[in-house]
Structure 1
Amino acid sequence: MTFRLRLLISSLFFPFLLQAQTSKQVHQDRVFQQDYAVKYVGENEAKERFSLAVDRNGTIQILEQGKLLRPAFGAFQQDGKLVADQSYLPMKDKTILAILSYQNQLVYLDDNAVLSNAWAGDLYLMHDLKNPHALAGGKDMDFVAVGPSQLQYLKKGQKTNPITIREPILDIRFDTKRNRFLLLQASGITAYSPGGTQISPVAKGEKLSAFALDSQKDLAVIGTENGYFTLDLANNQAGTLQTKLPWTEITAVEVNGTDYWFGSKKGAFRLDQNGTFSYYFGDRWLSGEQVRDMALDKNRVHILTEKGLSTLVFEEMTLAKKAEILEDQVRKMHIRNGFNASLQLSEKGNLSSGRLKDSDNDGLWTSMYLGGQAFRYAVTKDPEALANCKESLLAMERLYTINPVEGFPSRSFERSGYINQLSDPDRWQHASDPEWDWKATTSSDEAIGHVFVFGVLAEIVDDPWIKAKSIELLDALMNHIVKNDMYLIDYDGKPTLWGKWHPDYVNGFPVQVGDRKLNSSNIIAMLQTAFHFTGKAIYKEKAYELMEKHGYLENLMRPMAIIGQSGDGSDDWSKMLSESWNHSDDEMYFLGYWGLYRYAFSPELKAQFKKSILDHWEAERPEKEALWNIFTALVQPEHFDLEPSIWFLERHPIDLISWHTQNSHRKDIAIIPANFRRQSTETVLSPSETRIMRHNANRFTLDGGSQGTTVYSAGDIWLLPYWMGKYLGVIE
């Protein structure tokens, strides 16, 4: 069957594909809670409980070795510190042994009394305990204070004697419904009634460590050294021990409405009413690992560890508001000579120590940012977005003009002397202008990024200069490739390592090696885009030649299920390229799909390409990658993973510092056997819990990061899928 006959047969089915389309999916922007951390760093020796409290004004106090501390000078992405609290000078001379938030006021336990500076300082209840360490308040300004071997009930005008206890009390809460104090010991829970003379058993347990009360469900939520369980306070029936947690050594428990918060020896986590965990572990979220105490405060959760205090803020915002925040970050921290660049920090987490750094993929990351700004301008007509487009397009243009090779895009450029060319002579070359150097050895991922954004700019940005310049650069690049027999030819007259689309190279791979499918898909997309905007017949002729004579249509239509290891007998290069799935390839495929589908030569080809794109998308769905999903909306707006895309955009951190993250130790995830796609777990983790990743990374990577020394740009990571979704009308 000839190539054109196959297309004719497929065209018979194309009208039915169009008829099958229904209305597209659309997300109406909504309010969600964006979480971020404000950290106050400093080694401290606070004990595990009754060391942290917050009052109705948001005043936070921390207890360390009898003295009060407070957080100071902290802000988002700016570490504060813990300093001595001198707000009430007389408190300086007291030895405070426990601190509590009672009726949203701060209450203290020292070696003499329970006291407070609230209520006009009228609360002062003397006790008879030696070395007390815990307290809780009842409903009538009455309190129970606890020492190592005694408990005492305290109320103004009522004096009771201490009660002897046989086992240390680790935690204490007031059960409002039954007007009793519940006492947590390692072996169980006991109860004490106000003014009573004894404690009574409630429930037994093993290695209990902390607890809190869920008044809505009338439950005690009890942490242990190996998980947690709930206790029905109406009948004292214990639930099943839950051990599928991010970490099972529980050190603190708090209840916030329908959410349960747990502190552990490896971070903190929230369990919501849907049974979903949100894990806060690592330097993005916490100063330290071991949670010693927690306190709830409106839309904040304060978490005390061995290395300081972290305040998790849950700020209500929309995706539109989040876009404003991230746009501001990009403009202030990530624009280098018009490029979309990362920030390199010389001090961990210290933004003021940052310098903008070049990249092998400056053109690619800038293409993705520039594409996002083009979509933004097309949607909003914001002059700032247009100015951003012009600035970055100038940088893209100079990639072509700074080197002596016609139509060849440099990887990057930088002022001469900034980089020692002797350390990387293959890449860095001197420009004719002695002030500048340029980076050679440009790869295919750069090329497809350029073609993607030149097509986007030329089509949707109604600015004459931008349209003309984009088409000019597109033509220059594709003319270079066609003239050089489907190769990118570098300054030395040789093809670059990856810039190869010639049939000898592409079809030299076994059919299961992904590069054969990828390079075929990319070059057809590139040639279609060039023909669409220039009208030059050579681009269309070359594309059909590759498809008809060299099997490129068959290559790009090959199902993803076939892609795998090259197998025995293949050459070393094929084996290396097919050891496992290359997630950078996904980025190249999907960027190419814009031109492959949108500028298809015919409706028949468009139907074929749609089938290939959807086949790829089906393979990618487990990653819940917003950009791949929204690219899929280009070809199938009525059926793509919209909600997972919104989940990605909402849950993605606004702190894009590449902190080291770790998840492989978690008890709540199911590790699956090693596989070609390098999928580690059954379900992908939230982007808030994993390292900051560009779209060329494996979202199933559990551990990683750069120890807080790199700040990534939201320009390519977040703004591109968001604004593309807005342009395609799937995000309102």
Structure 2
Amino acid sequence: MKKKPLMLALALATQVGMQTSAQNAATKEVHKDRVFLQDYAVKNNASLSTAHQYSLAADRNGVVQVLEANQLLMPYGGYFQLDGKLVPDKTYLPMKDKKVLAIDRYQDQLVYLDDKAVFSNAWAGSVYFQHSLVAPTAFVGGKDFVFLAAAKNKLQLLQKDQAPHAFELPAGFTVLDIVFDAGENLFWILTEKEIYSFSPGGKTVNKALSAERMTALAFHPAKNQLVVGTKNGYFTYDVKAKKQSEINQKLPWTEITTVQSNGDDIWFGSSMGAFKMDAGGHFSYYHGKRWMPGEQVKDLIVQDNKTHVLTENGLGTIVFEEMTLEQKAAILDRQMRERHIRHGFNSSIDLLEPGNLGTARLTDSDNDGLWTTMYLAGEAFRYAVTKSPEALQNCKESLLAMERLFTINPVEGFPSRSFERRGYIEQLSDPERWQHASDPEWDWKATTSSDEAIGHVFVFGVLAEVVDDPWVKAKSIELLDALMTHIVKNDMYLIDYDGKPTLWGKWNPDYVNSFPTSVGDRKLNSSNITGMLQTAYYFTGKQMYKDKAFELMDKYGYLENMMRPMAGIGRSGEGSDDWSKMLSDGWNHSDDEMYYVGYWGLYRYAFDEKLKAKYKESIVDHWEAERPEKEGLWNIMTALVQPENFDLEEAIWFLERHPIDLISWNVKNSHRKDIELMEPNFRNQTTKEVLPPSEARIARHNANRFALDGGNDGRVEYSPGDIWLLPYWMGRYLEVIQ
């Protein structure tokens, strides 16, 4: 068959998109962008002594104060991804001589308890109610500027123009906290073993309940309940029915240090982070340095769209900012362009100091080509949707980097893994893989893998189809043809500079069919190479690609290989070779990534409708296996073949709940009491329900989303280009996100 003219190929590519859009429009699931709350942290560091009692409060102006050992501190200099510190608050000169023992918020103003009085600098300084308590530690405000203060088991009711009303709890009880119930006009008083109510009108004290090892107390107006934290869980007390619940220990952590209610939500501080429980009983867990400087919560307060969490290492402020996915995309795009472009590649950065972006260094990786293809595809979809000149320029810059992967080495049609200026090999990853280029200024990285190859084919097809720019289209088809010509002419191998196949660049039947049918590589490589050959044929019209694809499918069983259900993938079993055993010792999530980027060419450029139906069956079977992970990109990509059912809600959950802080802080979840662990299994699914991205380690799409612990101690910032921007912009292009 003669080669298709370039313009005919491009016209057919456009027709594919139009047909797909028309076929899917009537039945597809669609998400209309909405405002959601994006959480992120601002941290102000300090080393706080464990010997002291702490208070934390904020006023209506946004002023936040921390009390440590009679000294008032304030956060200074902290911004998103730029840590500040707690410094002495010298705002009011007379405060330096006050022996402040506790602080609180009353009617959105700061109020203080010192060794002489309850007082405030608000209300023109008119609030000043003296007490006679010795070393008081707790107080709270009630109605009409009535305050209750406590020192051990002694309490005093304080109000304007009246002498303090003093009373005591039984000997041996120490007041830990006091909260006010405005509906019933009652003060609730917490000790370690008993809770009392106090009516300021009748000045009567009544014991409400007894329990062991109580630590924290909040009144929850939404349910008219007390929420009581203990050293091993929490319980509630219905103040009307006078009924105490069973203790709840299915929590992220059970040693509760403080409790606050906020509307329908309840916030808990613990000795291992903070967590929010919503009205449905679902938890959001904030633990680790992504969210706060330390893990032992001393106090917390909720203020408007912020939750301030005081820890042993300073103050973490969790901010909840209203935004849409489109606005989030703009934030992550800015991060991408400012910090993650290296020679046009999509790169991570190493941080020489944990979390300090001022010590950032762009770094190479084995997969510079793959990560760049994923970012580049996202920018292609962005351009197709928005016609943004910036997106087009980004495409051109990264496509130049992709082109140079081919031209910097001496092997025709062979894409390097990466390239870098000469003289730094020993400081790069895997120095033994680097080779000198003919250009004395540059080195290039060999041993290119199959995951790079499938990434190249994926993005060249996307660019050729969706980017309406003559140079981008022509260059993409040129590079696609060069790569696939290399593979076909080298007997379905990727041949390196030494004349030998690379370790993973193998699609030859002797290699692929050498594996037992249970080994995933047999199915994966068959699927990938079929999609690669279809893409090459579609855009070049060269008959050799179509002939080779049908030869592999019909003569060598590649269609049968790829149609085997995912349920059949498992360990190779006894009698198999060591290589097969190694490849099948557990589910490989990098394989998932390779499958899915390959599905674009496999399905979209199928030779005929009969094959297309088979491919859909295989893709949906894979998606069914992946559904528990709620992987945003896999779900969005499944919309390509099944727009009426692809877990859209879970895809949006992934995009909305993903953090915008992509620094790889250590996270730990294996200690949690609220997760249901599973028995060890081939897929390494650790829990029945996958955790939200905001509570898990930062990971690319080739990682196990069920990993409970992990991270790089804040020494890497991953790029949003492949992690977030690709699924978002693909969703926009496929019109399932509007």
What TM-score do you get using the length of structure 1 for normalisation?
Answer: 0.96
Query: Which residue type is aligned with residue 59 of structure 1?
Result: V
Q: Is the 8 A contact 2:366 2:429 kept in 1?
A: no
Q: State the 1:161 CA deviation.
A: 4.5
2:535 to 529, 541, 559: 529
Q: C-alpha deviations, 1:429-456, integer Å up to 9, x for none?
A: 0001111000000000000000000000
**Secondary structure class of the residue paired with 1:718:** helix
State which drifts further: 698-707 or 165-174: 165-174
1:696 has 2:706 as partner? no
Alignment correspondent of 2:111: 107
1:505 has 2:511 as partner? yes
**Secondary structure class of the residue paired with 2:249:** coil
**Secondary structure class of the residue paired with 2:585:** coil
Query: Which residue type is aligned with residue 96 of structure 1?
Result: V
Q: C-alpha deviations, 1:601-652, integer Å up to 9, x for none?
A: 1111001100000000000000000100111100010111000000000000
1:430 has 2:433 as partner? no
1:163 to 141, 151, 167: 167
Alignment correspondent of 1:670: 676
Alignment correspondent of 2:484: 478
Q: State the 1:188 CA deviation.
A: 2.1
Q: Is the 8 A contact 1:163 1:197 kept in 2?
A: no
Q: State the 1:373 CA deviation.
A: 0.2
State which drifts further: 174-183 or 721-730: 174-183
**Alpha-carbon distance change, 313 to 325 in structure 1, aligned in 2, over 3 angstroms:** same
Structure 2 CA distance, aligned partners of 1:274 and 1:135?
31
**Secondary structure class of the residue paired with 2:457:** helix
Query: Which residue type is aligned with residue 89 of structure 2?
Result: D
Alignment correspondent of 1:652: 658
Alignment correspondent of 2:551: 545
Structure 1 CA distance, aligned partners of 2:75 and 2:409?
53
Q: Is the 8 A contact 1:263 1:294 kept in 2?
A: yes
Query: Which residue type is aligned with residue 164 of structure 1?
Result: E
Alignment correspondent of 1:706: 712
Structure 1 CA distance, aligned partners of 2:122 and 2:614?
73
Query: Which residue type is aligned with residue 45 of structure 1?
Result: S
Runs (5+) with no aligned partner, structure 1:
1-17
2:141 to 137, 141, 148: 137
Query: Which residue type is aligned with residue 39 of structure 1?
Result: K
Structure 2 CA distance, aligned partners of 1:277 and 1:247?
11
Q: C-alpha deviations, 1:177-223, integer Å up to 9, x for none?
A: 22121101111210112266652101222211111111122111111
**Secondary structure class of the residue paired with 2:361:** strand
1:630 has 2:636 as partner? yes
1:98 to 93, 102, 118: 102
2:30 to 26, 30, 48: 26
State which drifts further: 152-161 or 551-560: 152-161
State which drifts further: 63-72 or 180-189: 180-189
Q: State the 1:226 CA deviation.
A: 1.1
Alignment correspondent of 2:309: 303
Residues 587-598 of structure 1 aligned to structure 2 (within 5 Å): 587-598=593-604
Structure 2 CA distance, aligned partners of 1:173 and 1:426?
65
1:226 has 2:245 as partner? no
Structure 2 CA distance, aligned partners of 1:353 and 1:694?
23
Alignment correspondent of 1:83: 87
Q: State the 1:83 CA deviation.
A: 0.2
Structure 2 CA distance, aligned partners of 1:569 and 1:217?
63
Structure 1 CA distance, aligned partners of 2:403 and 2:667?
38
**Secondary structure class of the residue paired with 1:697:** coil
Q: Is the 8 A contact 2:363 2:428 kept in 1?
A: no
2:450 to 431, 444, 461: 444
Query: Which residue type is aligned with residue 279 of structure 1?
Result: Y
Aligned length: 715
Query: Which residue type is aligned with residue 136 of structure 1?
Result: V
Q: Is the 8 A contact 1:50 1:100 kept in 2?
A: no
Query: Which residue type is aligned with residue 539 of structure 1?
Result: Y
Alignment correspondent of 1:44: 48
Structure 2 CA distance, aligned partners of 1:685 and 1:51?
32
Alignment correspondent of 1:495: 501
Alignment correspondent of 1:8: none
Structure 1 CA distance, aligned partners of 2:427 and 2:257?
54
State which drifts further: 441-450 or 153-162: 153-162
Structure 2 CA distance, aligned partners of 1:613 and 1:657?
33
Q: State the 1:375 CA deviation.
A: 0.2
Q: State the 1:420 CA deviation.
A: 2.1
Q: C-alpha deviations, 1:110-156, integer Å up to 9, x for none?
A: 11111110111111111111110010111011111110231111111
Q: State the 1:162 CA deviation.
A: 2.8
Alignment correspondent of 1:257: 263
Q: State the 1:423 CA deviation.
A: 8.7
**Secondary structure class of the residue paired with 2:663:** coil
**Alpha-carbon distance change, 347 to 421 in structure 1, aligned in 2, over 3 angstroms:** closer
Q: C-alpha deviations, 1:571-616, integer Å up to 9, x for none?
A: 0000000000000000000000000000011111001100000000
Structure 2 CA distance, aligned partners of 1:46 and 1:577?
50
**Secondary structure class of the residue paired with 1:675:** coil
Q: Is the 8 A contact 1:48 1:292 kept in 2?
A: no
**Secondary structure class of the residue paired with 1:493:** coil
Q: CA RMSD in A?
A: 1.5
Residues 132-281 of structure 1 aligned to structure 2 (within 5 Å): 132-165=136-169, 166=171, 167-194=173-200, 199-281=205-287
Q: Is the 8 A contact 2:158 2:165 kept in 1?
A: no
Structure 1 CA distance, aligned partners of 2:197 and 2:429?
71
Structure 2 CA distance, aligned partners of 1:20 and 1:35?
34
Structure 2 CA distance, aligned partners of 1:157 and 1:195?
16
Query: Which residue type is aligned with residue 120 of structure 1?
Result: A
Q: Is the 8 A contact 1:48 1:251 kept in 2?
A: no
**Secondary structure class of the residue paired with 1:178:** coil
Q: C-alpha deviations, 1:231-258, integer Å up to 9, x for none?
A: 1111211112111000011111111100
**Alpha-carbon distance change, 697 to 532 in structure 1, aligned in 2, over 3 angstroms:** same
1:557 to 551, 563, 566: 563
Residues 123-134 of structure 1 aligned to structure 2 (within 5 Å): 123-134=127-138
Query: Which residue type is aligned with residue 37 of structure 1?
Result: A
Structure 1 CA distance, aligned partners of 2:469 and 2:536?
19
**Secondary structure class of the residue paired with 2:41:** strand
Q: Is the 8 A contact 2:153 2:168 kept in 1?
A: yes
2:126 to 107, 116, 122: 122
**Alpha-carbon distance change, 476 to 423 in structure 1, aligned in 2, over 3 angstroms:** closer
Q: State the 1:230 CA deviation.
A: 1.1
Alignment correspondent of 1:515: 521
Q: Is the 8 A contact 1:283 1:660 kept in 2?
A: yes
1:468 has 2:474 as partner? yes
Query: Which residue type is aligned with residue 150 of structure 1?
Result: K
Alignment correspondent of 1:12: none
Q: Is the 8 A contact 1:134 1:145 kept in 2?
A: yes
**Secondary structure class of the residue paired with 1:649:** helix
What TM-score do you get using the length of structure 2 for normalisation?
Answer: 0.95
Residues 353-372 of structure 1 aligned to structure 2 (within 5 Å): 353-372=359-378
Query: Which residue type is aligned with residue 665 of structure 2?
Result: W
Q: Is the 8 A contact 1:49 1:252 kept in 2?
A: no
Q: State the 1:47 CA deviation.
A: 7.2
Q: Is the 8 A contact 1:265 1:289 kept in 2?
A: yes
Structure 2 CA distance, aligned partners of 1:513 and 1:321?
43
Q: State the 1:48 CA deviation.
A: 7.9
Runs (5+) with no aligned partner, structure 2:
1-21
1:572 has 2:578 as partner? yes
Q: Is the 8 A contact 2:364 2:429 kept in 1?
A: no
Q: Is the 8 A contact 1:251 1:263 kept in 2?
A: yes
**Secondary structure class of the residue paired with 2:60:** coil
